[in-house]
Amino acid sequence: MPAPSLRPPRALRPASVLVVAVSLAAVGLGPAAAPAAAATVPVGAGSYSDTRPAGTVGPTTNTGTAVKPKVTSAAQGKPVPTNDWWSSLAFQRYGDNPYSTPMYGHPLTYQAVSGGLEVGYPTSAAIVGEGRQYEFAHKRDLTLGLTGLNSPDTKADSWSDWTVTPYWSDGSRTLRTTIGHGMPFVYAQGSGGNARINTASTPTVFSDQGNVLGITVGGHHYALFAPTGADWNVSGTEITAGLAGKDYFSLAVLPSTDALATYRKYAFSFVTGSKVDWSYSSGTVKATYSLTTEAKEGSERGALQALYRHQWLHTTDALTSYTYVSPRGTMKVREGTSFTTSMRSAPVLPQLPRSSAIDNARLRGYLNDVANASDPFSGATDTYWTGKALGKLAQLVPVADQIGETAIRDRLLSLLKGRLQEWFTAGGASEFSYDRDWKTLIGYPASYGSDTELNDHHFHYGYYVHAAAIVAQYDPSWAADSAWGGMVKALVRDTANPSRTDSSFPFLRGFDVYAGHSWASGHQGFAAGNNQESSSESTGLSAALVLYGSATGDTSLRDLGTYLLTTESEAIAQYWFDKDQQVFPGSYTHDTVGMVWGSGAAYSTWWTANPEEIHGINALPITAGGSLHLGAHKEAIRRNIAEMERENGGPAVEWRDILWEFQALADPATAKSKWDAGNAGYTPEAGESKAHTYHWILGLDSMGAPDTSVTGDIPASAVFSKSGTRTYVAHNHGSSARTVTFSDGRTLSVPARSTATGTGPGGSTDPGTPPTSGNTFQLRTGGTLTTATGSSAASDTVPSAGGANHDGTPYKPLVYEIKRVNGTYTSGGSTSFRLAVDAGTSVGLGQQARVSYDLTGDGTFDRTETYAYFATDPVTGWERYDQTRGLKSATGTLGNLRGGTVRLEVWSAIGNADARLQTGTDTSLVVIPFS
């Protein structure tokens, strides 16, 4: 965020505030809908207003005109999901566009226009903004509509978890289409005209079966489906069909022309809704993504769904061989109306435990600097900067408590309570106001469009929920619904409401369950779709839900936060940090991005091109709740920091504390050396303090970086690993002692309302999977090495080197890995492998391999072996690449494997075309020198 514009507080507005307990809504997350005549709505000891403060505004167009949701009569009064991938259908931010801006469903893109729905399938990335941004921008292949349709606007008619139904009417004709994330189909229902498809260029017909037409437009293959008895007619760029007395038709983008028969099977199984169900149990988060369908013809009720990378990496459900291109990497297609993902839950703690290396006197001085500052809130008046200040103070409460500084702890708690209660009481200089049209709570003074555009509510309010969670940890009575907890839950309902039947707030306003992450713009009114910059502030809200739910005994809220945090953690790793180097286009040169857009991503922020802030905005605020998950991807952090220093011309200066703490999640010793060298003469980032940074860096230096391969059976737990020793940490928010069991079998006794730690030997392991013994591993598509045999042959694409020389340096490598490997090193032995590769008829290609060993599974590779590349011939057919090509370079030494990790990377060292690598059989093997 940019530097704050600290406005003077507006005049106090008198109000009669009733301090009474109110009945809560059925979902248990705060007040019921505001009474129509009320000026102040009491919620426990707090209240909000149902009218905006004088002189303020709510949602508007870009010209300042007040705007209401653009929905049909069928949807009037329903909470509108702002901050979604399709929100421009309902939020007319730009007054001269009554239809929509481009909407990125993936694999298809859409834009509503007067004649219907533009549809595109962008498959080539453009690098723009001086190389800072990659875009798969919407480009129309065709427009789906009705003959003669000329609607004055497009409205949202209905919606579900990741689908929406736009509606057009010009008085004579009506059209409804259903579109969604991961849907290769567009389902249409219309009246008053024939089906009409207008193509951007003259199509090539590759199949004509009467009511089923296969066409190619702009290099993309589409199938058009009219009811049985109808017939498609092609005239130039105009394709029409009567509907044979029916009112439905559909189209699909095909991964290849030979997929037509499969897609035809589902052409009339219309999707009518989408829903995610999640659960948490003993360190595992499961989520099932389901579609409901209606058979327009016949009895088929199945569907095809394209899964994003963060989904297909974590499902065991069968997938087809069909794939699509997207800004999020390859999407893989499943035949079926549901699939389930399973992930290890992200670690969460109220705070790191105290390190014995900490100097209490020094830490006490840092704490006093904050607690006794003349203005601990640094002049903050609006929702965002107040939130940042609340977050800074909240993080120090457990720190003070750990070293016995109860007076400082209580001073900080008093500051938190006082400021929260100011905001949680209507009629003062700061308050929350309920907007009946948009079904949202807006905090005033607002900031960064949180009022006019409904931006960033999850960023801002997450800080408030986190602060409330820390207060609740020490004073549960304060967080009772009859006290101040009702207002906390009202903010939760605004930002992360788990109910689909709540009439006062939409379901999960900011979080896109299928995309796996949140969106920041309330209106989505950009050519590039919606966007999110600070993914870390989004996970801050999710972690706050875990902590608040744990502190108040609300397991449903706790588990919601665990699902959101765990899911977004994987999305961030893939789409912001490209951890596997399989998402960003080959022509894009950055290792990380500051912002993700519907159309792609950008190495930028909204307010500066300073590399420190581009990299830091997806790390701050550093907390033990919302940041530990980043430690699962240590190589990505190292690449991130290295790029920041290259772009910055040296180490961080302005946000050095944020970036030190971020680096400590991968390399604590390096971060500590930077702290030791530079802690004397810097100004902390606005949401940080020297007390917290000192505590964080020394804590991780003592325990080691997070070891996310091991999970506890409660969400408020984490594991760290250093030099073969694990530190197990858990916080018990309950009123009686309990035993926490970790996935590697370790147990930890945790007293009531306390944090406990324990240590034990070991490196990273995978929960629930026995250690692997054996020395011969087959490759499997999907990125695994396995000792199993008997699979069918498959292949993976080795991306082109793009005409550059990548000899010795992995470039968009295929990565195959096996964890929890035990083995005794064979002295003098060496790695061997054989890989079946094929460059087809392409000339001048060379594939290269690297084998790495993490001997203890602690996330650090102790031995890395890079082999000379293999120059493939331009003749179709498999060739054998093996270790006899020679060892190009090696670092480290081999030793015994104890719960270790073996990794194979394969990439194109040279060439300007893709190659193939065979998987699934013993034609591609890695043999390690262990017994």
- Taking the C-alpha atoms of residue 279 and residue 215, their distance in angstroms, rounded to an integer, is 43
DSSP letter assigned to residue 173:
-
615 bridge partner residues: none
Pick the closest to residue 358 from 857, 786, 697, 650 (CA basis): 697
Residues 6 or more apart in contact with residue 716 via CB below 8 angstroms? 348, 349, 350, 546, 547, 550, 730, 731, 732, 733
Burial bucket for residue 871 (CB in 10 Å: 0-12, 13-18, 19+): middle
E strand intervals along 226-268: 233-235, 238-241, 248-254
> Would you call 422 a catalytic residue per the annotation?
no
532 bridge partner residues: 596
- Taking the C-alpha atoms of residue 721 and residue 100, their distance in angstroms, rounded to an integer, is 50
**CB 275 within 8 Å of CB 161:** yes
Residue 455 identity (one-letter amino acid):
N
b/e map 42-69, b = 16+ CB within 10 Å: bbbbbbbbbbbbeeeebbbbbeeeebbb
Sign of CA dihedral 293, 298, 300, 304: negative
Catalytic position from the list 537, 667, 854, 905: 537
Pick the closest to residue 874 from 825, 833, 837 (CA basis): 837
Pick the closest to residue 897 from 779, 789, 771, 778 (CA basis): 771
> Would you call 141 a catalytic residue per the annotation?
no
User: Cα torsion for 18, 19, 23, 27, to the nearest 10°?
Assistant: 110
Furthest CA-CA distance within the chain: 85
Residues 6 or more apart in contact with residue 646 via CB below 8 angstroms? none
Our CA angle for 352, 356, 360, nearest 5°, is 90
Q: Give the pair of three-digit tokens for residue 578.
A: 């490209």
Pick the closest to residue 815 from 708, 926, 662 (CA basis): 926
- Taking the C-alpha atoms of residue 592 and residue 535, their distance in angstroms, rounded to an integer, is 12
Which H helix or E strand runs over 329?
none
**CB 718 within 8 Å of CB 628:** yes
Residue 77 identity (one-letter amino acid):
G
Residue labelled with tokens 């003062």: 428
Which H helix or E strand runs over 128?
strand 126-128
Helix axes 383-402, 457-474, angle to 10 degrees: 30
Q: Is 221 left (phi over 0), alpha (psi -120 to 50) or beta?
A: beta
φ and ψ of 898, to 5 deg? -130, 95
> Would you call 317 a catalytic residue per the annotation?
no
Catalytic position from the list 533, 688, 796, 858: 533
- Taking the C-alpha atoms of residue 539 and residue 638, their distance in angstroms, rounded to an integer, is 21
Catalytic position from the list 382, 405, 435, 456: 456
> What count of other Cβ atoms lies within 10 Å of the Cβ of residue 96?
8
User: Cα torsion for 316, 322, 324, 330, to the nearest 10°?
Assistant: 40
Burial bucket for residue 892 (CB in 10 Å: 0-12, 13-18, 19+): middle
Helix axes 656-664, 634-648, angle to 10 degrees: 150
Residue 908 identity (one-letter amino acid):
S
Tell me the C-alpha to C-alpha distance, in Å, between residue 220 and each of 50, 115, 271: 51, 22, 23
**CB 737 within 8 Å of CB 750:** yes
Catalytic center residues: 456, 533, 537
